[in-house]
Structure 1
């Protein structure tokens, strides 16, 4: 009886071992397939099969910084991203593209296209490569980065950055409020193409950091007019009503000082107290991880001196 039992046990062990190796092999194959094949991304317009490891991405909107921060190669970008001086070296060999120039995009042979939902020629773009579009502002700026992380099969990396950034920004916000006072107001004002704009809390230019993470206050006039739409055009005459105790002044033309030379501007408390911090609009325009990290360090330096 014992002689029969021992061979049976050996056979049983061998079967279990073989099954285990088979399962391990199958799991390994699945993981390898994800690395070299495709994944299904649940976009706002439904499931889309995209490369698990995209290598030639075309970005038709302001998400270039999100893609670059996750270490994914870009072959085509929008003109705004290309003109960002911070990215001059990174995007040196990257072509400028638009949704109007289908032929140019075809030449770049992309394996993934990313854009906003107002993109033109969407049907044509989908025939070139898997195309995913987003509605600007439908989700908050940090969730947007995580979504792009999911799209690029790098959700863990995106989530890790978000968690770290929120902690750093909120800590800096507490320190800034302790220094300037809990009731001090901050405005983000921009001069672009001879027009002045004031911004709410979700339109790039550092607004997300100042008002969402740091929870600094904006002037009442800004809250009433710019918070809901995201931005609001103003005239020089009413500028003082929108100037906070502290002002982030975004300019695209650093040589244009027409506003700064006016008495209307010079007589505001923020100017008199040297509480106006000028920034390059071409750099401050975005709200991707690279830009957000830069904005956060700028705010810490200007408000705290470190």
Structure 2
């Protein structure tokens, strides 16, 4: 009986040992995978970035990261106050490029910054830092680039292709309803002036003019298409108003212009062709914002 028991005991010990080695090996492989890096071609040169970043600070393009479910630990102030992102950013620290000590405390493994920002070299000493210039890439290519950076290029491209199809289809339906020649203006009120937008300045302009191929008034085309934005006075509003107006306003701002004769006498206003968007929720061109605005435009143009 003892002779049979001893070999069995040895076999049991060997099995336990093998299992322990496998577990250690798996833990080691998992740890090594987390530390894997690849070379990303940033505007500031080649940067070795983690394949699976776990602690991302986005001083810019945070909403793009959020759309791909990147794990943000730091975000810029403007994104943090956006009503579309507020719930999703609970627990994420608000930082700027000047908050170097706070950034160090957050222990990031990837930082995304704007090319115009200060302290890029210092940020790069804290963690691999990738920079983007606002507007250098079109709104869809920007999302694909963030996908490459986060090792989620496939997901980013799938969303881009799907969004383009849906926006194009919506544009066709809208043109069929309002007419092929109907014009759309995107106007925003400031403190003492107004802004009209071209086809690439957020507020849904990329969707309306690029994806949906809707028309902007000639006056807007002449002044805002190249620069992206053009400033006008209250008196000039009728000259820049299209058959339809997308009006970007801040709910807690001064909107007394809505009661002026200049505004009320604009044909689009008299025809109830004004659709109001929240400025704070419309100043980005990331997937979350684009999905929100696409639905808003479909509802506004097609269900009214």
Alpha-carbon shift at residue 30 of structure 1 (Å): 11
User: Which position in structure 2 is the counterpart of 1:89?
Assistant: 87
Alpha-carbon shift at residue 45 of structure 1 (Å): 2.9
User: Which position in structure 1 is the counterpart of 2:115?
Assistant: 117
Q: RMSD value over aligned CA atoms?
A: 1.8
1:1-306 paired onto structure 2 within 5 Å: 36-61=35-60, 63-254=61-252, 256-305=254-303
- Aligned-partner SS, 1:91: coil
CA 1:106–1:237: 2 relative to 1, 3 Å: same
Alpha-carbon shift at residue 285 of structure 1 (Å): 1.0
Unaligned runs of 5+ in 1: 1-28
Aligned residues of 1:183 and 1:217 also touching (Cα < 8 A): yes
Alpha-carbon shift at residue 210 of structure 1 (Å): 0.3
Matches of 1:278 and 1:141, distance apart in 2: 22
Aligned residues of 1:184 and 1:245 also touching (Cα < 8 A): yes
Matches of 1:108 and 1:297, distance apart in 2: 36
User: Which position in structure 2 is the counterpart of 1:24?
Assistant: none
Listed one character per residue, the Cα deviations across residues 159-199 of structure 1 (whole Å, up to 9, x for unaligned) are: 00000000000000000001101110001111233331111
Unaligned runs of 5+ in 2: 1-27
- Aligned-partner SS, 1:68: helix
TM-score by length of 2: 0.87
Matches of 2:134 and 2:207, distance apart in 1: 17
- Aligned-partner SS, 1:260: helix
Matches of 1:167 and 1:149, distance apart in 2: 19
Give the number of equivalent residue pairs. 277
TM-score by length of 1: 0.87
- Aligned-partner SS, 1:259: helix
Alpha-carbon shift at residue 200 of structure 1 (Å): 0.6
Matches of 1:219 and 1:128, distance apart in 2: 48
Aligned residues of 1:254 and 1:280 also touching (Cα < 8 A): no
Alpha-carbon shift at residue 69 of structure 1 (Å): 1.1
Matches of 2:204 and 2:30, distance apart in 1: 39
Aligned residues of 1:249 and 1:278 also touching (Cα < 8 A): yes
Aligned residues of 2:110 and 2:127 also touching (Cα < 8 A): yes
Matches of 1:33 and 1:305, distance apart in 2: 54
Matches of 1:171 and 1:273, distance apart in 2: 25
